[in-house]
């Protein structure tokens, strides 16, 4: 099947849907097609607990404070111009989201209830209980469905970009239900495909986070950067028998919870004057150090001194989930460990969201804007997604969409129709990949393990190439191929990096002291 559209958006989280809604409203006679590989609401956005960092309290807060917090957290590698733009655009983009029907918690006085998270010098995180992402995704999906010229193709997996002479003309997409490959020709294509969490054994990301957009961009030879900066969230619930990882929001520490060793030592002040509210890289590394010292499996989050009713009101999902795992937060300490959470790098974009490939744009976690530097400040990711969706909208609003002018025909996708690949191969290699990345590309890395890992990744990449020649491949296989594709720069860039910065730490290297 062949489809033509004016705008093709890959991904249905906050970044992709915001671009789609804005374009569809501005150009009611143009077609906006959103392609998403699972349910339309399944993305990292849905699982965001914390909220959106934005300066709306003009009494105690100001743009300069938010800018400085972001720069400090990024450990000298942020682009100051981009930080300024994103922070200053924040209030306007938040207002739009509210206008679209998103709810945020208010105080008894009717002002926004602003939370505090690690690395922030002020309370500035707007949130909806501990379900901010779920609420945003709900509201923007309602809004997107109101757009008569937006079509959402769910359960459609983008395999590769349709490239000709270094220009992007759309994408090849697998219809997961019929197994048919659809060629989608588009004037502009936007990558909004999210993160890479499934590359690791322990991640807060959902199963869909397999780095698809970044992998497609790599194959299309787009410039990517900062892939070595992987953020580990300090406090995921330690539940070794659980199949998925549950996040205990940083907002819980902002609410007053203490991190302790099993002996009750409140250790964070040994590492940073900000204690539990130091930035994530510092808290995660401190926990890792404590665990190495004690040989324990986890540290603990103590909430027993906090008001139970208020806790339940602010964090209903966390409260319930802990209960289900056997922990009453009013009486028990919650066992926690650092877990992969966010990729700070990705496909390089300029301030309009343009990648190095013509007609290809990117926003959200798959993009590298320069906002995060070596470590993202908490709750800056939803903010970045909103601001860049708007930047892309502004840019595309100025551009012609007449497809005939491009004189590009549909190109068929080369696809071997052989025996279906046995699913065992995919499952076994995926588990091995997650294991090796967890062990060797985690919070603390070293060159020897990184070198061995790179060799193994390149061997798997070769194996995948051979398989593709001989078999009809499945979605699971394509996801594995993408996981391998994005793991290679994570490891290769880690090998190249000679200085420890932010979320990146390699044994034997110096810490940045310049900033």
Q: What letter does residue 271 receive in the DSSP assignment?
A: T
CA of residue 155 relative to chain centroid, distance: 20
The window from 42-50, 222-230, 332-340, 461-469 that contacts ligand SIN (CB under 6 A) reads 42-50
Please choose, from the candidates 263, 257, 394, the residue with its C-alpha nearest in 3D space to the C-alpha of residue 318.
257
Toward ligand SIN, which CB reaches closer, 124 or 156?
A: 124
Q: What residues have CB less than 8 Å from 264, skipping those under 6 apart?
A: none
Coil, strand or helix: which one is 15? helix
Helices 132-146 and 381-397 cross at an angle (nearest 10°) of 20
Please choose, from the candidates 250, 259, 354, 249, the residue with its C-alpha nearest in 3D space to the C-alpha of residue 301.
259
Q: Is 249 in the site for ligand SIN (CB under 6 A)?
A: yes
Q: CA 390, 393, 397, 399 torsion: positive or negative?
A: positive
Toward ligand SIN, which CB reaches closer, 249 or 279?
A: 249
Task: Write out the binding residues for ligand SIN, residues 49-78 only, by CB under 6 A.
Answer: 49-50
The window from 62-70, 205-213, 357-365, 376-384 that contacts ligand SIN (CB under 6 A) reads 376-384
- Token readout for 417 is 């129709």
The window from 44-52, 163-171, 367-375, 401-409 that contacts ligand SIN (CB under 6 A) reads 44-52
Helices 80-99 and 132-146 cross at an angle (nearest 10°) of 70
Toward ligand SIN, which CB reaches closer, 215 or 336?
A: 336
- Token readout for 299 is 């540290």
CA of residue 176 relative to chain centroid, distance: 23
Beta strands in 449-490 (DSSP E): 471-472
Coil, strand or helix: which one is 238? coil
Cβ contact 299:336 at 8 Å: yes
Minimum distance from CB of 343 to ligand SIN (Å)?
Answer: 12
Minimum distance from CB of 265 to ligand SIN (Å)?
Answer: 23
Q: What letter does residue 237 receive in the DSSP assignment?
A: E
Minimum distance from CB of 232 to ligand SIN (Å)?
Answer: 11
Q: Is 500 in the site for ligand SIN (CB under 6 A)?
A: no
Q: HEC string of 336-387?
A: EEEEEEEECCEEECCCCCECCCECEEECHHHEECCCCCCCCCCCCHHHHHHH
Q: Is 381 in the site for ligand SIN (CB under 6 A)?
A: yes
Minimum distance from CB of 50 to ligand SIN (Å)?
Answer: 3
- Token readout for 390 is 């708007």
Toward ligand SIN, which CB reaches closer, 375 or 453?
A: 375
Task: Write out the binding residues for ligand SIN, residues 180-239 only, by CB under 6 A.
Answer: none
Residue nearest ligand SIN, Cβ-based = 50
The window from 6-14, 65-73, 244-252, 357-365 that contacts ligand SIN (CB under 6 A) reads 244-252
Q: Is 250 in the site for ligand SIN (CB under 6 A)?
A: yes
| Dihedral over alpha carbons 8, 11, 15, 20 (to 10 degrees) | 40
Coil, strand or helix: which one is 515? coil
Toward ligand SIN, which CB reaches closer, 3 or 239?
A: 239
Minimum distance from CB of 60 to ligand SIN (Å)?
Answer: 21
Minimum distance from CB of 237 to ligand SIN (Å)?
Answer: 12
Number of chain positions touching ligand SIN (CB under 6 A): 9
- Token readout for 484 is 């391998």
Toward ligand SIN, which CB reaches closer, 249 or 321?
A: 249
Toward ligand SIN, which CB reaches closer, 161 or 283?
A: 283
Residues, the chain:
515
Q: Is 379 in the site for ligand SIN (CB under 6 A)?
A: yes
Minimum distance from CB of 379 to ligand SIN (Å)?
Answer: 4
Task: Write out the binding residues for ligand SIN, residues 465-484 only, by CB under 6 A.
Answer: none
Task: Write out the binding residues for ligand SIN, residues 131-160 only, by CB under 6 A.
Answer: none
Catalytic residue set: 280
Q: How far apart are CA 201 and CA 459, in angstroms?
A: 20
Toward ligand SIN, which CB reaches closer, 50 or 147?
A: 50
Minimum distance from CB of 377 to ligand SIN (Å)?
Answer: 8
The window from 343-351, 377-385, 386-394, 420-428 that contacts ligand SIN (CB under 6 A) reads 377-385
Pairing of strands 419-420, 471-472: parallel
Point out which residues bind ligand SIN (CB under 6 A).
Answer: 48-50, 249-251, 378-379, 381
């Amino acid at each position: 099947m062949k489809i033509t559209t004016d705008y093709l958006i890959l991904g249905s989280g906050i970044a992709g849907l915001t671009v789609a809604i804005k374009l569809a409203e501005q150009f009611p006679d143009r077609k906006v097609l959103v392609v998403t590989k699972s349910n339309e609401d399944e993305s990292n956005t849905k699982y965001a607990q914390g909220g959106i960092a934005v300066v709306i309290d003009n009494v105690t807060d100001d743009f300069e404070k938010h800018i400085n917090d972001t720069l400090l957290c990024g450990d000298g590698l942020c682009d100051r111009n981009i930080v300024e733009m994103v922070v200053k655009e924040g209030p306007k983009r938040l207002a739009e989201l509210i206008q679209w029907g998103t709810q945020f918690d208010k105080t008894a006085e009717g002002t926004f209830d602003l939370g505090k998270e690690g690395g922030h010098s002020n309370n500035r995180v707007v949130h909806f209980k501990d379900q901010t992402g779920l609420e945003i995704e709900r509201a923007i999906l309602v809004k997107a469905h109101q757009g008569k010229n937006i079509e959402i193709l769910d359960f459609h997996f983008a395999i590769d970009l349709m490239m000709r002479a270094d220009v992007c003309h759309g994408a090849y997409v697998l219809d997961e239900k019929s197994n048919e490959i659809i060629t989608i020709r588009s004037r502009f294509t936007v990558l909004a495909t999210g993160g890479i969490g499934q590359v690791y054994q322990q991640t807060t990301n959902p199963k869909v986070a397999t780095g698809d957009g970044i992998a497609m961009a790599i194959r299309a030879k787009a410039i990517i950067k900062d892939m070595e900066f992987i953020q580990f969230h300090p406090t995921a619930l330690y539940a070794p028998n659980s199949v998925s990882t549950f996040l205990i929001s940083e907002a819980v520490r902002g609410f007053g919870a203490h991190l302790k060793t099993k002996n009750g030592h409140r250790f964070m002040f040994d590492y940073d004057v900000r204690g539990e509210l130091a930035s994530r890289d510092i808290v995660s590394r401190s926990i890792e150090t404590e665990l190495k010292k004690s040989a324990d499996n986890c540290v603990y989050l103590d909430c027993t001194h906090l008001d139970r009713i208020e806790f339940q009101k602010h964090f209903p999902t966390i409260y319930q989930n802990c209960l289900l795992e056997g922990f009453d937060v009013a009486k028990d300490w919650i066992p926690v460990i650092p877990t992969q959470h966010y990729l700070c790098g990705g496909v390089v974009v300029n301030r309009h969201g343009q990648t190095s490939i013509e007609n290809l744009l990117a926003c959200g976690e798959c993009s590298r804007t320069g906002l995060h530097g070596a470590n993202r400040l908490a709750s800056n990711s939803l903010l970045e997604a909103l601001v860049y969706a708007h930047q892309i909208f502004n840019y595309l609003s100025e551009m012609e969409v007449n497809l005939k002018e491009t004189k590009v025909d549909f190109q068929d996708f080369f696809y071997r129709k052989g025996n279906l690949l046995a699913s065992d191969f995919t499952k076994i290699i995926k588990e091995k990949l997650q294991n090796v990345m967890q062990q060797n590309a985690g919070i603390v890395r070293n060159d020897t393990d990184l070198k061995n890992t790179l060799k193994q990744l390149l061997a798997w990449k070769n194996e995948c190439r051979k398989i593709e020649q001989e078999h009809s491949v499945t979605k699971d296989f394509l996801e594995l191929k993408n996981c391998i594709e994005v793991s290679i720069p994570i490891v290769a860039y880690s090998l190249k990096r000679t200085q420890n910065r932010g979320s990146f730490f390699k044994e034997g290297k110096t810490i940045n002291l310049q900033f």
